[in-house]
Amino acid sequence: MSPTLQTRLDAESCYRAVKSRDRRFDGVFYTAVRTTGIYCRPSCPARTPGFHNVTFHPSAASAQAAGYRACKRCLPDATPGSPDWDVAATAAGRAMRLIADGVVDREGVEGLAGRVGYTSRHLGRILTSELGAGPLALARARRAQTARILIETTDLTYADIAFAAGFSSVRQFNETVREVYASSPTDLRGRRGGRPATGTVVMRLAVRTPYAGRQLLDFLALRAVPGVEAAGEGWYARTLALPHGSGTVRLDIPDEPRPQQTAFVTAAFRLEDLRDISAATERVRRLLDADCDPVAVGDAFAGDPVIGPLVRQWPGLRVPGHVDGHEVAVRAVLGQQVSVAGARTVAGRLAARYGRPLAQPVDGLTHLFPDAATLAALDPEDLPMPRSRGRALIALCAALASGAIALDRGPDRDDVRRALLELPGIGPWTADYIALRALGHPDVFLPSDLGIRDALVRLGRDPAAAARLADAWRPWRSYAQLYLWQTHPTKEP
């Protein structure tokens, strides 16, 4: 590992986390053990190695590049991702989100670099400095992780798994699995045979606890667009527009209000093309805010007289993300100055009229949400909304369809916000709501939001002082926003 990485990952602090088996650091760094040649998560239950025998790595790919293989006991790559990627939103963090979405597999390193806004050579230097591995190694580690999950949790044949995980050949798949896990695919599966691909894959997605799953589900269910989304007791389902085709996902969301072992959301994907499994998984993880560190968020609000009591009432509250940034942006415009029910009704009408129908409807899901190009081609006069809002929606969709504005978490967030504010009819509330849900920004606050103002009144605070109060909630203002909304969850958009 480079001296820069060793300095950034303070060895003494990392080793204390390993000795205490602190689960909060799972996915934040990895422990490589010289004497065994393996790397583990910090909470690995195995005997703690001696300090002089370990090194620490910021990514699984970094440990693999140094010649270590994954521990079979703690499965270090089956952890939530690092929350630092969204908190800092550096070029490395934005690139990691895109790599997880499969951009390197689809567009190569040049495509990844273009989305982040750097040359491929400079991006390689950044990733090697920050994460200990270049984009190809990071993408390879991601493919290996996806392959292992599919091997152990599905009955797909190995050939289907190889191509679903993003490998170009079965041979490459076999070699990578053996190198990373020191086991063949057959050993990982335990001699259990496979069946030809059916397009349905069931996976378990790890989330840190505490996890306020019930509140997250309530948020999503209240805004569910008919035909595009559906929800019931303990579950949520929606359609997915993916790089190689369409699909659906049904999520069984647990409610884990106490810190304990890692919780799991069961995700059942039905995909037209299994090559989309990595992209679908990453987008659902964004929706669930699966990589959040709820303990760090709770600790930051522990002494706050406004948010502190709310954190104790609803520990582990998450900021609901989204599977499609373009859809969030459109729905944010639809939600301007109208109720939740009103925005949902208009969105449902647009989906029924302009969304692409699914070939096989399931769970009440019938359509994909209309894409930006389709909506950009409409006449504002034909939209079921005030003319000025219709013009704003068309202008936004035109910018999204042309690529002038990208909401895939690749560009710098501040640049995206400035570009949004330059569009007619897009004000600070709309731009910040898009940043909150589409860009995964952990430090956004909407002081003019009606739900926030009402919440502060109920808590005995002056709503005119909302922006000043929020300064004390950095860098987690997005979570403060959700806690305030939670006091009256039907008020926010």
Supply the residues annotated as catalytic: 40, 449
Burial of residue 379 (CB within 10 Å: 0-12, 13-18, 19+) is: exposed
Question: Is residue 466 within 8 Å of residue 455, measured between CB atoms?
Answer: no
Pick from 75, 82, 80: nearest CA to 96: 82
DSSP labels, 149-202:
HHHHH--B-HHHHHHHTT-SSHHHHHHHHHHHHSS-HHHHHTS---B---SEEE
Beta strands in 341-486 (DSSP E): 357-362, 365-367
Helical axes 387-402 vs 325-334, angle rounded to 10°: 170
What letter would DSSP give residue 36? T
CA dist 374 and 424 (Å) reads 19
Locate 350 and state its tokens.
């647009």
The secondary element (H helix, E strand) that includes residue 390 is helix 387-402
* Amino acid of residue 211: Y
CA dist 151 and 192 (Å) reads 10
Locate 101 and state its tokens.
């979405």
Question: Is residue 113 within 8 Å of residue 131, measured between CB atoms?
Answer: no
156-180: b (≥16 Cβ within 10 Å) or e: bebebbbbbbbbeebeebbebbeeb
Locate 389 and state its tokens.
């809002």
Locate 47 and state its tokens.
């005997």
Locate 210 and state its tokens.
């505490």
CA dist 272 and 275 (Å) reads 9
Place of tokens 């989305």: 115
Question: Is residue 493 within 8 Å of residue 433, measured between CB atoms?
Answer: yes
| Four-residue CA torsion sign, 287, 271, 324, 132 | positive
CA dist 248 and 237 (Å) reads 7
Question: Is residue 125 within 8 Å of residue 131, measured between CB atoms?
Answer: no
- Please report, for residues 5, 100, 126, the alpha-carbon distance to residue 132 in angstroms, rounded to integers and kept in the order given: 7, 16, 9
